[in-house]
Structure 1
Amino acid sequence: MRKGVAIAGTVMVDEIKTVNGYPAKSELTTIEQRKRSMGGAVSNCSLSLAHIDPTLPIEIIAYFGEDERGQYLYEGFSKYNNIDLSKVQFTGETPFTDVIFDEFDKTRTFYTFKGNSTSFNEDAFPLSNIHAKILHVAYVLLLDALDQEDEQYGTKLAKLLYLAQKEGMQTSIDIVSENKDRYEKLVPPALKYTNYCIVNEYEAGKSTAITLRGQNDRLLVNNIKKALTKMKSMGVQDWVVIHAPEASFGYNGEEFYRLPSLSINKDSIKGTVGAGDAYAAGILYGAEKGYSLYESMKIATASAASSLLEEDSASGVKDIQTLKEMYDNWKKREDAFLL
């Protein structure tokens, strides 16, 4: 019987640099603090899951570099007894991201070195030896080799997801946010072989060509329903979930759900790196445990909120019981009720 979650795809080291105001081009600003953490979807999701439930089996499928950063990743994951590293391959240079965190407005800007992620392909997946119930792959548009065209399935990632489902796994994807026009070409093939699609409102809008924010940056709820419906019709077999700062929205083919985000004082937010992955981890945990979409969205909402309480991507994420209590007891964002 399959159990647990396998997380595959982007893994890197985040070099977090805190500045008090982002400089204009050619200007200088002072780095107030610097910190290193494990980043990328593989780190963010797997560590969040490990914090949610330290007994949940987690398998990692990724390339670590043959360098100091690769060793840093290996040692970091090794601290968790429920994370299986047996499928990790060491090759090339470890990807890293300079995360510039603006202490003034709590935003972050990323400068990424792709390293060995450009060669991460279907050969990294020993499908017959993966024991997980769910295979989560992220991020679409950032996995160069898997985003390559496949004559039969559309992309190599789509073929991989198809083969994973044939092996008896459920599949899940997340997408990276980028300001390019590749979404409508690369996302639909993967959706055909996806059980759970978990994306933010920007990625959903770009993937469906539906405008999800209107005047004054207001979320367009009716359009979000259209986007959920369209992504489901493009092949997602179980759940489509769209999360935004104000609220999250889900569709299982029968019911639409809207849940407000938790209200957190701005002064309590230490960082937003990995909040989307913490949200995805909550959805994956609920799906693995057989929870309803509605209950899973509650866990995901609290998971994302708790991740904001620390600078890195996952150390703020709480255990499952605490997350349930957080969603039930914490104040909700008032603007979510105005949507």
Structure 2
Amino acid sequence: MPPPSARRGVACAGNWIVDIVHTIEGWPAKSELVRITDEVEGTGGGAANVMLSLAAFQAGLPLWAIGLVGMDRHAATVRWAVKAAGADGTHLAETDRAPTAHTHVMNLPGDSRTFFYHPGTNDLLDEGDIAVEAVAAAGARIFYLGYLNLLGRLDEVAGGESGAARVLARAQAAGMVTAVDLVSTDRAGFRATVEAALPFTDVLFLNEIEAARATGRAVAGAGDAAGLEAAARQLRDGGAGQVVIHSPALGLWLTPGGDAVAIRPDPVPAERVVSPVGAGDAFAAGCLYGLHEGWAPEACLRLGHRAAAASLAGATATGAIPPLTALLG
């Protein structure tokens, strides 16, 4: 396998979901009707959003798609997106045992978004479906896994171990840097799943809600720098190499040496926000690009914030992300 210095590119493993984003005029009461004013379909999920964001940067990074889809029209949507991004889709497996995962996203402009999720093939994704060694042999530098706690079988913990942890251990053993992202779900076992993966996670991405659930600590909102730093240090003590927490008010990076770097993003006017879906993934993609290129945490956070802000202007997770030259200009 190539030595670390010769590696290049990012392998994106985990969730592949088709998002059907409905913009609605208001949230209905039970049994009432509300109009859908706009509808757009795109590919979503941790692996998909990070890969497509990196592709949108047009920086020439090799990209690999790893996951499991069905044999349906949603699978065709995913494969088309991978091909259009110029990524390697060889390791995107398929099965007829379930439909491709998909989500109906209810977007209320200027307010919130709500997700109705059908897990489909994501719940069937197993360790054997993830071609860790193949992408390592192809030269990938970073192995991204997302979203933890939305990976079905891989999230199951037994004896302090999980399938996701074993996948990450394989990636480290193969010479890749491991990056893990979480999802804001309130499932039982959320914290145990995170803790099992921490010793094999070089970089952990999460938001303020996930930080509270992963640690059991109280976090007083998106701008609670002290609370977020305390959560980050607890996660680092649990085994994570670096911890990156993002919120609309703050980006915080805890380095391997224990230094906390915090940067607050520029505010985005409400009239520019079409949908916040995918903003966290765009942030992670910006940080991953900087990490891949050896940037300092401050520069990584700035690019992450700019990518997240750009993503807000699109109805889908990655549709509004511009090339890297525009983000850095």
TM-score (norm. length: structure 1): 0.90
- For the pair 1:305 / 2:319, whether they are aligned, the reply is no
2:180 matched residue in structure 1: 173
1:184 matched residue in structure 2: 191
Aligned residue among 117, 125, 132 for 1:120: 125
Q: Deviations over 1:103-137 (max 9, x none)?
A: 3x331100011111111011112222113111110
Q: Deviations over 1:16-50 (max 9, x none)?
A: 11111111222110111111111111221111001
Residue 109 of structure 1: SS of its match in structure 2? strand
1:13 matched residue in structure 2: 18
Distance 2:313 2:82 in 1: 21
- For the pair 1:257 / 2:261, whether they are aligned, the reply is yes
Distance 2:19 2:253 in 1: 30
- For the pair 1:88 / 2:92, whether they are aligned, the reply is yes
Residue 154 of structure 2: SS of its match in structure 1? coil
2:248 matched residue in structure 1: 245
Correspondence list, 1:208-227, <5 A:
208-213=215-220, 217=221, 219-227=223-231
Over the aligned positions, Cα root-mean-square deviation in angstroms equals 1.4
Q: Deviations over 1:57-114 (max 9, x none)?
A: 0101011210111112111221122x111111121311110001113x3311000111
1:320 matched residue in structure 2: 324
Distance 1:274 1:262 in 2: 18
Consecutive aligned runs of 4 or more in structure 1 exceeding 4 Å deviation: none
- For the pair 1:275 / 2:279, whether they are aligned, the reply is yes
State percent identity of aligned pairs.
29
Letter in 1 for 2:79: Y
Q: Where does the alignment leave 5 or more consecutive residues of structure 1 unmatched?
A: 326-339
- For the pair 1:99 / 2:101, whether they are aligned, the reply is no
Aligned residues: 318
Distance 2:222 2:17 in 1: 33
Residue 52 of structure 1, CA deviation: 1.5
TM-score (norm. length: structure 2): 0.93
Residue 84 of structure 1: SS of its match in structure 2? coil
Aligned residue among 165, 170, 173 for 1:158: 165
Q: Deviations over 1:131-180 (max 9, x none)?
A: 311111011111011012244x6111111111110111110111110123
Residue 164 of structure 1: SS of its match in structure 2? helix
Correspondence list, 1:186-201, <5 A:
186-201=193-208
Residue 200 of structure 2: SS of its match in structure 1? coil
Q: Is the 8 A contact 1:106 1:270 kept in 2?
A: no
Q: Is the 8 A contact 1:95 1:114 kept in 2?
A: yes
Distance 1:47 1:288 in 2: 16
Q: Is the 8 A contact 1:164 1:171 kept in 2?
A: yes
Distance 1:229 1:165 in 2: 22
Aligned residue among 106, 110, 114 for 2:115: 110
Distance 2:300 2:157 in 1: 33
